[in-house]
Chains A and B, each alone.
Chain A
């Protein structure tokens, strides 16, 4: 399995979802989904990120509920992936 840094994770998300980097970059605790999110990602983006992460790290995010929890922010996603490796 591959370790993945926060900047790498940001790059993976933006590339997978065909999004440009928001001004000043994404902060670790910034929401990725929902009305307050600058990226305005939706459930299809979540699926895309989920498969992109699996291809990169081998870690499979089980279902949509777990996906939403894990992908609340860059930091929660990094924490989730770290926990899966241990």
Chain B
């Protein structure tokens, strides 16, 4: 059985109006030069780990053998489009060039957590595809899974999952919304 317990979640769909200030409080400083999409990534991930009891006052206890799996349908597309326009003279601004790359958000998240480990980004229309792929690799420290979109209304939805051996878990629900429902505490993947 491939059972998983949900020990933390953040369903910021959309995030609260003051989310940027709330992020600055959690980081201990205002984030700089990382772009809106990466800020949404950071805020959702930190809220989720806080909910899981794995992040307090800028310190994280996310295990080193966990997997961070971030997914999005478009990633930082706005930053990329802005940078493409800026680059028409052959010189994009370096920070814009970096902000247009989705995996920069992983580096910023690792830095915010003072954490080093396996982290990946998937472009997909289906958040549960990213979940299945992450869970299939069975990382011993579990998975921190994020689904982030900056398209209005913005959303940053995260789950902290740890492997479990119980036999009577419900099957994986069909939608992310059902996974975000706090009445669901566990699920199992077939295979």
Contact = CB atoms under 8 A, between A and B. Distances in A.
Q: Do chains A and B interact in one complex?
A: yes
A30 B98 CA distance: 28
B32 A51 contact: no
Interface stretch (A3-11, A15-23, A72-80): A15-23
A50 B89 CA distance: 15
Interface in B154-178: none
B22 interface: no
A54 B93 contact: no
Contacts of B140: none
A44 B94 contact: yes
Nearest to B92: A51
Contact of A18 (B33, B91, B94, B98): B33
Interface in A34-59: 44-45, 47-48, 51-52, 54-55
B95 interface: yes
A55 B89 contact: yes
B91 A47 contact: no
Contacts of B93: 16, 48, 51-52, 55
Contact of A19 (B32, B91, B92, B98): B32
Nearest to B96: A48
Chain B binding surface, main DSSP class: loop
A52 B98 CA distance: 15
Interface residues of B, number: 9
Interface string B78-108: 0000000000010111110010000000000
Nearest to B89: A55
Contacts of A52: 93
Contacts of B92: 51
25 contacts: A16-B93, A16-B95, A17-B32, A17-B33, A18-B32, A18-B33, A18-B95, A44-B33, A44-B94, A44-B95, A44-B98, A45-B33, A47-B94, A48-B33, A48-B93, A48-B94, A48-B95, A51-B91, A51-B93, A51-B94, A52-B93, A54-B91, A55-B89, A55-B91, A55-B93
Nearest first, the 10 closest Cβ-Cβ pairs linking A and B are: A47-B94, A18-B33, A18-B32, A48-B95, A48-B94, A51-B93, A51-B91, A48-B93, A51-B94, A52-B93
Given A17-B33, A45-B33, A55-B93, 20 more contacts: A16-B93, A16-B95, A17-B32, A18-B32, A18-B33, A18-B95, A44-B33, A44-B94, A44-B95, A47-B94, A48-B33, A48-B93, A48-B95, A51-B91, A51-B92, A51-B93, A51-B94, A52-B93, A55-B89, A55-B91
Interface of A: 16-19, 44-45, 47-48, 51-52, 54-55
